[in-house]
Each structure stands twice: as structure tokens, then as C-alpha cells.
Amino acid sequence: MMDFWKHNRSWLWPTLFICPAVILFGVVIVWSSLQSLWISLHQWDGLGPKVWVGLSNYRELFQDPQFFVALKNNVIWLVLFMLAPPLGLAIALLVNQKIQGMRIAKSLFFTPLVLASVAVGVVFTWVYTPRFGLLALVYSAFGAEAPALLSNPDLVTFAVVGAALWPQIAFCMILYLAGLNNLSEELIGAGRVDGARGWDMLRHVVLPQLKEVTFIAIAITAIGALRSFDMISVMTQGGPFGSSSVLAYEMYEQSIFSYRFGYGAAIAAVLFVIMLVFIGWYLSRIMRAEELR
């Protein structure tokens, strides 16, 4: 026995080391995700037996107007979230100066990122509160009355996205600040010699060097937009009348409140397929960079 261990320890140890992580991640995360796809082909209330229904959950989904409302909102989230990388870059450029107090200013700009999204949701619910909130205060300073953002079906999604952008911009700012620290002084110097300044310098010298950071910022922001759940749950619960729901919230509601686990799993599967585009894009770039190393 000891002999066997001695001869094979070069591979036995590593196997032993990696097993807990692989088994736990494999069972809880990977296997669960695959199981959902299977569940989506059944009718199931979460307790009784699963009844095989084939693709009928998906057929129902594509006839459900609420599904398209949620899908449309997902698109709105995705498009508006793309404001986060440029705004994050703008703040990063703003604070990238060595002036006294700038370090504290930087960390204060980061703060929204470490707040729980529930906290951000409550904070912005308060900001948007009609007549009493911060927004109402700003409007009344101009003698106007603020719209009741969270109870207006046409505006509610924009209001929630506005709140969610707050931490997302801070995240992009951190990425860009790190990127700005790694700029090549030589290229910048050469640009200056050639007379490039301001916008030209940014476009032709700085941005090309930030390509990698920009890719990461865009990919993660897109995935974050599609994963949005917390803010909606806290600020609107998908309302009014389902007008601010997204696929992630729709899935939760159908499963937890209506006990339609098969239907919920089908919604999750659709969301998963949409996200797979972005995850695949991100993963292929990361892995290619890894193999070149």
C-alpha cells in the first residue's frame, strides 16, 4: 500500500487536491444547470411527479405576451448598460491625476460597487419617491413636479436601469483606472511629439492600448445586464402590471409564486441560451489568450 502511494504520489496528490472543488462545483453548479434543461421539458409543481410534456412549455412561452415584455426589457437593459464602459472611462480619466486628495476621491467613487444591490435598490426607491424623494426635491427647485417613475409602466424600466448603472459604472471605472496605469509611456510620448492632444490622443493612442480592458468591460457589463434581478425584485417586483419584468425575474415569479417549475425552467433555458452568446465570446477570447501564454 505504502509502495503504491510512493510510486504514484506525483498524480495521486494533485487528484486529491482538486477533487473537492471539482465535485462540489460539478454537482451544485454544472449538474444543476443541466438538470434545469431536463426539467423544462416537464410539467412540475415542485412536489408531485414530473409529467413529460416535450416542448410545450416552450410553445406556450412564445405565445405569452408577458414573455415578450420581459424580453424587450432585457434588450433595454442590455442597450442602456452599454453606457457604463464609456462613463466609467470618463470618470477614470477625470481622477487619473496626482493631486492631493485624489486617492480618497477615487475610493469614494468606487463606493457604489461594494454596496449590496438590495441597498442600492432601496436607496434609489427613496430617491425616486414621488413628492418627497431626492428627485422630487431637484424638480421642485425648478418649480416642476417629478414624474412618479416607478409607477409609470413606460418609464419604470429606465428608472431601474438608471439605478443599476450606478455600481456598474464604478466597476468599469476600476477596470479603466488599472488600464490607464499600464499605458506605454513611449507611445504617449511619441504621440505628444507628433502633436496629438486631447481627443486625438485618446482615440488614436490611448484607446487602442485599452482594447483588452474595453473588451472585458463590455463583456462583463453585457452579462451583468442580462443577469439583472435584484434591483427589479426590490424596486418594483416586476410591476406595475409586469411592465418592468425581465426574464430572470419572470422565471423566479413563475416558479416560486405560481409553482410552475417546468415553465420557469423553460424561461431560464431561454435566458441561458441568450447569455451563452456572450459567455462564449468572452470565454473564447480568454482561452485563446491563455493558450498563447
Partner 1 sequence: MYPRPIPETARRSRFLYGALVWFILLLWLAPLFAIFLTSARTAEDIAAGNLWGRPSEIGLVDNYIGVFQLTPMASYYWNSILMTIPSVILVLILSTFAGYVLSKFRFPGNMVLFGIFIGGNFLPAQIMMIPVRNLMVNLGIYDTVLALVIFHVAFQTGFATLFMRNFIAALPRELFEAARAEGASPLQIFVHVVLPLVRPALAALAILIFTFIWNDYFWAVVLTVSDSVKPVTAGLASLRGQYYSAWNLLSAATVVVAIPPVVLFFFMQRHFVSGLTMGAVKG
Please identify, using beta-carbon distances, which residue of 65 and 141 lies nearer to partner 1.
141
Least spacing, CB of residue 98 vs partner 1, in Å: 6
Q: Which letter, b or e, does each residue of 163-195 get, where b requires 16 or more Cβ atoms within 10 Å of its Cβ?
A: bbbbbbbbbbbbbbbebbeeeeeeeeeebeeee
Least spacing, CB of residue 247 vs partner 1, in Å: 8
- Altogether, the residues listed in the chain come to a count of 293
Helix 261-292 crosses helix 211-227 at what angle (to 10 degrees)? 170
Please identify, using beta-carbon distances, which residue of 157 and 263 lies nearer to partner 1.
263
Please identify, using beta-carbon distances, which residue of 3 and 185 lies nearer to partner 1.
185
Least spacing, CB of residue 243 vs partner 1, in Å: 20
Beta strands in 214-254 (DSSP E): none
Please identify, using beta-carbon distances, which residue of 55 and 287 lies nearer to partner 1.
287
Please identify, using beta-carbon distances, which residue of 93 and 155 lies nearer to partner 1.
93
Rounded Cα distance between 184 and 179, Å, is 10
Rounded Cα distance between 109 and 111, Å, is 6
Least spacing, CB of residue 202 vs partner 1, in Å: 7
- For residues 225, 242, 149, 222, the Cα torsion angle rounded to the nearest 10 degrees is 10
Least spacing, CB of residue 82 vs partner 1, in Å: 14
Comparing CA positions, the residue from 225, 214, 197 lying closest to residue 81 is 225
